[in-house]
Amino acid sequence: MAGAGALNKRKKLMLWTSVLMLLAIFVLPMSGYLFTATQAEQQAEATNPRSDTWRQVRQGNEGYTAVQGRETNELIQGSGETWRQVRNGPLATYGSWLLGFILLAILTFYIARGRVELTHPRTGETVERWTLNERRLHWTTAILFIVLGITGLSLLYGRHVLIPLMGYPGFSVYAAGAKWLHNILGPVFMIALFTILVKFFRHNFINKVDIEWFKAFGGMVGDKHPSAGRMNGGEKVWYWTLATAGVALCLSGLVLDFPNFDQEREVIQLAHVIHLVTALVLLAFSFGHIYIGTIGTEGALEGMTSGQVDVTWARQHHDLWLEEKQQAERQNQQKD
Amino acid sequence: MARMKFLCDAERCIECNACVTACKNEHEVPWGVNRRRVVTIDDGLQEEKSISVACMHCTDAPCQAVCPVDCFYTTEDGLVLHDKDICIGCGYCFYACPFGAPQYPQEGAFGARGKMDKCTFCAGGPEEDNSQEELNKYGRNRLAEGKLPLCAEMCSTKALLAGDGDIVADLFRSRVVRRGGRPDNWGWGTAYKA
């Protein structure tokens, strides 16, 4: 019995020793950290004063300078390089992909589906779709948008696309004119766009009819003619894109257009990125808008040129609006 | 060919602004445009340090990368120069430059920018060396005369160095070795301890 007890004791001892040894294997190598941790604490109090100076410079801290001008007291601003990478990298690359993809998609759609024709013969009877003032407003904004789009894209892609065609001096003359036009017409476009946003605000609340309209792909795919009021779902989405991205585009444009308020470079860089992204989104959307309004739909363009559309067209594309209009006319006649 | 470089020794610069004045005078730079400036960090404190800064003629220059009309070019000496006949004064180079080097004379209302002006390392522009046209647009071309930038040439403490990058680096290295890791005048040593 005594022998067995001694054996048990020995086993216990061995077990505890093994546990201790295992613990030591894990813990002992870490004791180095304890040493460096206490050391580092002491070192942190005394940093190299020269490093501190350059650290401040790198962080863009403001110093003192006798030279007057914009942000002259900032020795190094690091955000400019970030702006350059973002503009020349993803924005320019994916921007060109986006515009190219949309154009290609529209072309493919046109070849596959063709024009959305009128399903019934024209009646010859017309209704007024857009008043003269509405048409003036639309075409002013449209022409300004196209000019601003072309001049703006020239500043982003002209270096790669137009310099090989026009040469350096030629492109420089064009770009100087483009820059001037863009700067002058930008605020005019803003006034026109804001007028549109206010004028058509009450027609653009998205409702159940529009959701059904989207489910039927706006009648662009298949032969269904989903119902629509004065504005269909697509027009409403275009409106709200303009009301969000368009407004952001205009406001960021103002920051870029008026450097006389001494905005800091970081503000300008941010405004420029917003301006680029929103401009590319609106350009991509406008391609679709222009396609549907011209060659994509039979009889759509005449509404915006002459103001009148055929009753057949109105019944096919804006049935609820036509009903409303005819009802109002009947009521007027009854009053007379 | 040499790779030209500026180097400002922050231990030596005494914020006398002579480099700024020399540059303005040498190139007849108009009011409102400063190709070089001196910035003082921690002004008035014990840690005060001054650094003279202008265009640093980057190898991968952000101004060059963002220019919509591609008016910048790098010379054989590694200098980043630009063609004012091509420049349209858009301001992009000023947004991108880390050193605030590009400057614009104001031209027209609402802060409209004229053609960009910046440090040329006293090497003029694309016009014929030392021609009247080059002088009018970019100032003196001292490099074509076999001289180095005036700001560094006349720096009283030789804080600002300009020239062949290898020579500049050798000079600065010898200073660092002599200092032995200690600043030349940091904390005044034991001056006020007795």
Give the integer Cα–Cα distance in Å for A251 and A245.
Answer: 10
pLDDT in tens, B48-65: 899 999 999 999 999 999
Higher pLDDT, A216 or A306: A306
Exposure b/e, B56-83, CB count within 10 A at least 16 = b: bbbeebbbbbbbbbbbbeebebbbbbbb
Tokens 């680029």: give the residue: A276
**The predicted structure's pLDDT at residue A44:** 56
Task: Tell whether B192 is covered by a domain.
Answer: no
Give the integer Cα–Cα distance in Å for A199 and A130.
Answer: 12
A147: nearest Cα among A180, A101, A173, A171: A180
**Which residues 223-282 of A have a C-beta within 8 angstroms of B?**
257-261, 265, 268-269, 272
**The predicted structure's pLDDT at residue A301:** 92
Higher pLDDT, A199 or A334: A199
Give the integer Cα–Cα distance in Å for B26 and B141.
Answer: 10
- The answer to whether A56 faces chain B, any CB pair under 8 Å, is yes
Give the integer Cα–Cα distance in Å for A220 and A237.
Answer: 16
- Residue B60 is given by DSSP the state T
- The CATH number of the domain holding residue A190 is 1.20.950.20
Q: Is A259 helix (H, G, I), strand (E, B) or coil?
A: helix
Contacts of A179 in chain B (CB under 8 A): 88-90
pTM for the full model? Answer: 0.86
The runs of H, that is alpha helices, within A92-131 are 92-113
Of A65, A261, A268, the CB nearest to B39: A65
**The predicted structure's pLDDT at residue B185:** 57
- The CATH number of the domain holding residue B96 is 3.30.70.20
Task: Tell whether B179 is covered by a domain.
Answer: yes
Task: Tell whether A271 is covered by a domain.
Answer: yes
In chain B, the number of structural domains is 1
For residue A134, pLDDT over 90 is answered with: yes
In chain A, the number of structural domains is 1
Q: Tens-digit pLDDT profile for chain B (194 aa)?
A: 689 999 999 889 999 999 999 999 999 999 889 999 999 999 998 788 999 999 999 999 999 999 999 999 999 999 999 999 999 999 999 999 999 999 999 887 888 899 999 999 999 999 999 999 999 999 999 999 999 999 999 999 999 999 999 999 999 999 888 876 565 555 555 555 54
- The answer to whether A58 faces chain B, any CB pair under 8 Å, is no
ipTM confidence score: 0.89
Task: Enter the tokens of residue B17.
Answer: 């602004």
Instruction: Give me the phi and psi of B163, to 5 degrees please.
Output: 150, -160
pLDDT in tens, A32-75: 777 777 666 655 556 677 788 888 888 888 899 999 888 999 99
**Which residues 104-143 of A have a C-beta within 8 angstroms of B?**
none
Residue A2's pLDDT band (boundaries 50, 70, 90)?
Answer: low
- Other Cβ atoms less than 10 A from the Cβ of B98: the count is 22
Task: Tell whether A111 is covered by a domain.
Answer: no
Residue A88's pLDDT band (boundaries 50, 70, 90)?
Answer: very high
Domain span at residue A307 reads 80-106+131-335
Domain span at residue B92 reads 4-183
Task: Tell whether B133 is covered by a domain.
Answer: yes
Task: Tell whether B68 is covered by a domain.
Answer: yes
Of A64, A88, A176, the CB nearest to B40: A64
CB pair distance less than 8 Å for B85 and A265 = no
pLDDT in tens, A240-264: 999 999 999 999 999 999 988 889 9
- Chain centroid to CA B64: 16
**The predicted structure's pLDDT at residue A42:** 59
Average pLDDT score over chain A:
90
